[in-house]
Amino acid sequence: MKKIIFVFLLFLNIIMANSNITPETVMYGNCLNSYEKKYIKSSKNKAFAYAMQSNGKSSCGWGNKYKTIEEARDAALKYCNKRKLNVECKVIDENGKLIVKEGDFIPIVPKSNRYLSKDEYTKYLENGKEIINSSKCLTSFKFYLRGKQHQSFYFARDSKGNEVCGKSNNKFSIQEAKSFALSECNKDLKKKNVNAICKPYAINFEIVGKAEDFAYIKGKSDYLNAIYRGKLNKIKKYISENADINAIAKDGSSPIFVAATMGDEEFFLSLVERKANLKQVMNNGSNLLIAAVAGENPNIVRYLLSRGFDINSQNDKGYTPLHIAFGKLNTYLIKILMQEGADATIKNKEGVSGYDLAKKWKLNLDILKKIDINRKKDNCNQVFYAAKNGDVLGLKKLAELKANFKQACDFDSITLAFSKDDERIIKILLDNGIDVNVKNNRGETALMNAKTAKKVKILLSLGSDKMIKDKNGKTAYERIKNDKYVSKEIKNLLKY
């Protein structure tokens, strides 16, 4: 009896293992069409043969009305082999019954039209920066993240830190994507004479490679290299493991310089609290204030000015913070620096002053120097630009000066929609009369226009109503539920 049960269970497992195999998962195109519309309807003693390469090229043939199944099988293979492929034809059906086993053919996995959302792109790119150092491979990885399935990214690094990579996208199958990316990586490997092995780092939108796969050696050298290359997440990880917060890289930078240059206010202030050295100067003569202006976070800039940093300090090239702000094309920071006392007459070593740059940009620095709560640019007042740039202290100052928050732009929700993803900023806007659910002329609320999961969470926590509809009768969720560029996290947050 036990033997009968064992045989039955074994038979059941075989059926279950193959239950997911259908003609659609094995074939596509003309061959699938021939199979379903012609072969299946033909008489008995029939067989169907098929072959497919990883790039999607396929061939098929069938035989029917033969005296024996063997003759039908031979005829099917003969017709299938007429198209010369680099894979062998196999009989996949006899008398209308599929005889395909798992692994006989490349499974047909439909391409996805999905693209990464802004949040997802940033997350994947940060992961990539933890592993990839070379600018060429990092640029290649950025393009990869903007590609579409099926795709793959291969990477290799030798013990000396030399790196090569290869990518593919929009291929017929995962197998073809992997094969092409590996081939490209190996070509680069041979060309640059790098002693390493190309391994997969990403397949479609999944990171499959680990740091240890790519000659990654954890320690002081890697930590200093992370500081030098501005790898913020890796620096944070090392510091969480009690690494020296004042470690200095070969260019004279330290973790707090990276935080300032990247505009990461939370990390910057955590380092300040832990007594990071604010007086450190880089090899090129740049101090922390110059680095902060390069990072374009007005809150860090204002903090350093409050700590007594010289607003007119210069690096070895004679650049002041004002020169750096012009270099970043950041009018808002130029305005802050002018209002805080920057000297626009100071020239760099090329003989260029702030006034020279302003003339080139057609900016009136004397007007920017004045705090005018009623001055407008593109139909929006200073409240809008302070919120958009995430300037907490600037927004508080405007509130004290009784600036018009409710009419910062033509419609309140525009200010709220364009504000930084910062709960402090949004709370200041709401505390000064802006309705979290106010609509613009298209009936859209700030929630409907939120681009990141962080902002959606903030707005919902502060009372945004996701059931409100726009002028087309759609809620925030209905507007984005079929949008391939919006992340699943945002869709789940807005779903009701």
Query: Are the C-beta atoms of 293 and 324 separated by less than 8 Å?
Result: yes
Residue 382: closest CA among 393, 369, 371, 390: 371
470's tokens: 């726009």
41's tokens: 């309807």
Sheet holding 58-63, edge to edge: 58-63, 47-52, 90-94, 97-98
Predicted confidence at residue 11, as pLDDT, reads: 37
Predicted confidence at residue 16, as pLDDT, reads: 36
Q: How far apart are CA 344 and CA 355, in angstroms?
A: 5
Predicted confidence at residue 10, as pLDDT, reads: 38
Predicted confidence at residue 250, as pLDDT, reads: 96
Predicted confidence at residue 283, as pLDDT, reads: 97
**CB neighbour class for 374 (10 Å; exposed up to 12, middle 13-18, buried from 19):** exposed
Predicted confidence at residue 460, as pLDDT, reads: 97
Predicted confidence at residue 413, as pLDDT, reads: 73
Long-range contacts of 80-84 (CB under 8 A, 24+ apart): 80/49, 80/50, 80/51, 83/59
Helix (H) or strand (E) holding 395: helix 392-400
Predicted confidence at residue 54, as pLDDT, reads: 76
Predicted confidence at residue 411, as pLDDT, reads: 67
Residue 21: closest CA among 93, 126, 129: 93
Segment 453-476, tens digit of pLDDT:
999 999 999 999 999 999 999 999
Q: How far is CA 71 from CA 63, 66, 67, 98, in A?
A: 8, 6, 7, 18
- What one-letter code names the amino acid at 62? W
**CB neighbour class for 271 (10 Å; exposed up to 12, middle 13-18, buried from 19):** buried
Predicted confidence at residue 112, as pLDDT, reads: 74
Q: How far is CA 30 from CA 24, 27, 119, 203, 496, in A?
A: 12, 9, 40, 28, 43
**Tens digit of pLDDT at every position of the chain (496 positions):** 444 443 333 333 433 344 578 888 888 888 999 999 999 988 888 999 999 887 888 999 999 889 999 999 999 999 999 988 989 999 999 999 999 887 777 777 777 777 888 888 988 998 898 889 888 999 999 999 998 888 999 999 998 889 999 999 988 888 889 999 999 999 999 999 999 999 999 999 899 998 888 877 788 988 999 999 999 999 999 999 999 999 999 999 999 999 999 999 999 999 999 999 999 999 999 999 999 999 999 999 999 999 999 999 999 999 999 999 999 999 999 999 999 999 999 999 999 999 999 999 899 998 888 888 877 888 888 999 999 999 999 999 999 999 999 888 876 678 999 999 999 999 999 999 999 999 998 999 999 999 999 999 999 999 999 999 999 999 999 999 999 889 999 999 999 9
Helix (H) or strand (E) holding 164: strand 163-168
Measured at the CA of 99, the angle between CA 94 and CA 105, to 5 degrees, comes to 120
Taking the whole predicted model, whether its pTM rises above 0.85 is answered as: no
Predicted confidence at residue 445, as pLDDT, reads: 95
Predicted confidence at residue 236, as pLDDT, reads: 95
Segment 120-167, tens digit of pLDDT:
898 899 889 888 988 899 999 999 999 888 899 999 999 888 999 999
